[in-house]
Amino acid sequence: MLISSCSLNSLFALDWVSLHEKADQQNLDSAGESLRAEPLSIDRLYILGLVFLNLHKDAKAKEVFSRILMRNPDIIEAKWGLAEALRRQHKIDQAENLLNEVIIKAPDFSPAYISLAYVKYIRMNFQESARLALKVIQQGRKNVDLSNYVRAYAMYAGAKGMIAHYGGPLSKAVNGLAVKPNLQKAQKLQPDSPAVLFGLGSYYFLAPVIAGGDKSKAEVLLKKTIEVDPLFADAYVRLAQLYRVKGDEEKYSFYMNKVIEIDAKNVLFLDHMSGECKFICVGGQEEAKP
């Protein structure tokens, strides 16, 4: 009997929405204990990989997803997990190639669109980043795990903000007005999401006062981001920039040193230090240029 490629893929598909939701409720101990109780379970191994990602243990996550693929190379979710780990390790070309493969084989797999949206954002293709994030939003909450659905709103808002930044007056009006409402939608769904806290903190920091900018609110939200996720490197960069604007060089240096400890290859950090400021670096090296 012949089996179509679509049927073959469905044979190995995981209930990924449920697994992502479960992973968000587990810590490393509980995920490890669950796997030890059933060591041959692909589901439990996949959850362990997701927990490693949540904890920024990207090398460990890469190992786990690679183990799954060694057992069964047709598990698309594990291929995404490997791509996401590579993306976080700044191996962007490898990650992008894998993500494109995943989307071709599993066009409804939302996490791949979010990961690819981050890649496109880093490559400064903000229109494509927004399109990919919007695709996940349009899939609807019931078809996407909560964290990735929230990330989609945050990513869409961030991309729209950058489109506004680089656009003319009309773009600034149209795209700029899309930023805060989408972040607020995400906030209602998951108030303590680091992505949402960071997005709102960045918005209040970077927006002009006439558009709702408020550096006091920005400081509170960015600090909350690193309380919830102490390894969220982007938040440390924005906090450092905020304190430089305030003239507090001691705190500026403190937060920049934290980024170096966490991830010295962080794109926002390197953008700030180089003075290129492709991603906006208020208080950065560009202000020292003649």
Q: For residue 51, what are the domain limits?
A: 7-107
Residue that terminates a domain, selected from 107, 142, 166: 107
Per the domain annotation, does 242 fall within a domain? yes
Q: Taking 80 as the threshold, does the pLDDT of residue 7 lie above it?
A: no
Please give the Cα distance from 169 to 164 (Å, whole number): 8
Task: Take residue 266 and report the two structure tokens written for it.
Answer: 């962080």
Q: Which residue has the higher pLDDT, 214 or 4?
A: 214
- pLDDT, residue 283, reads 65
Q: Total domain count for the chain?
A: 2
CB-CB contact of 77 with 14 (8 Å) = yes
Per the domain annotation, does 15 fall within a domain? yes
pLDDT digits (tens, 9 = 90+) for 12-36: 578 999 999 999 999 999 999 999 9
- pLDDT, residue 201, reads 98
Task: Take residue 162 and report the two structure tokens written for it.
Answer: 């950058």
Domain of 203, CATH number, reads: 1.25.40.10
Please give the Cα distance from 103 to 107 (Å, whole number): 5
Please give the Cα distance from 208 to 165 (Å, whole number): 12
Please give the Cα distance from 117 to 129 (Å, whole number): 4
Per the domain annotation, does 136 fall within a domain? no
Residue that terminates a domain, selected from 107, 139, 162: 107
Which residues, 6+ apart, have CB-to-CB distance to 245 below 8 Å? 215, 282, 283
Residue that terminates a domain, selected from 88, 107, 126: 107
Per the domain annotation, does 148 fall within a domain? no
pLDDT digits (tens, 9 = 90+) for 183-232: 999 999 999 999 999 999 999 999 988 888 999 999 999 999 999 999 99
Mean pLDDT of the chain: 92
How large is the greatest C-alpha to C-alpha distance in the chain, in angstroms?
73
Global pTM reads 0.92
Per the domain annotation, does 117 fall within a domain? no
For residue 25, what are the CA distances in angstroms to 19, 28, 50, 223? 10, 10, 11, 23
Please give the Cα distance from 134 to 154 (Å, whole number): 10
- pLDDT, residue 211, reads 85
